[in-house]
Amino acid sequence: MSLRNIIKPYPSPIITGRGIDLDFPMLAGCLALLGLGLIMIASASTEVGAAQSGSALYYMTRHLIYVVLGLGACIVTMMIPIATWQRLGWLMLIGAFGLLVMVIIPGIGREVNGSMRWIGFSFFNVQPSEIAKVFVVIYLAGYLVRRQKEVRESWMGFFKPFIVLLPMAGLLLMEPDFGATVVMMGAAAAMLFLGGVGLFRFSLMVVLAVGAVVLLIQMQPYRMARLTNFADPWADQFGAGYQLSQALIAFGRGEWLGVGLGNSVQKQFYLPEAHTDFVFSVLAEELGAVGSLCTVALFVFVCIRGMYIGLWAEKAKQFFAAYVAYGLSFLWIGQFLINIGVNVGLLPTKGLTLPFLSYGGSSLVICCACLGLLLRIEWESRTHLGSEEMEFHESDFAEEPNHGR
Mean pLDDT, consecutive 10-residue stretches, the chain (405 aa), reads 47 74 93 95 89 87 94 93 92 92 84 75 79 95 90 83 90 86 92 85 82 75 66 72 87 92 88 86 94 96 96 93 96 94 84 86 92 95 62 44 51
Q: At what angle do helices 178-194 and 128-146 cross, to 10 degrees?
A: 20
* Residue 309 · residue 378 · CB < 8 Å: yes
Bridge partners, 118 (sequence order): 110
Sign of torsion over alpha carbons 228, 231, 232, 236? positive
**pLDDT at site 5:** 46
pLDDT of residue 293: 96
* Positive or negative torsion for Cα 122, 127, 130, 133: positive
Q: Compute the chain's Rg from CA coordinates.
A: 22
Dihedral of alpha carbons 115, 116, 122, 125, sign: negative
Measured CA to CA, the distance from residue 220 to residue 284 in angstroms comes to 32
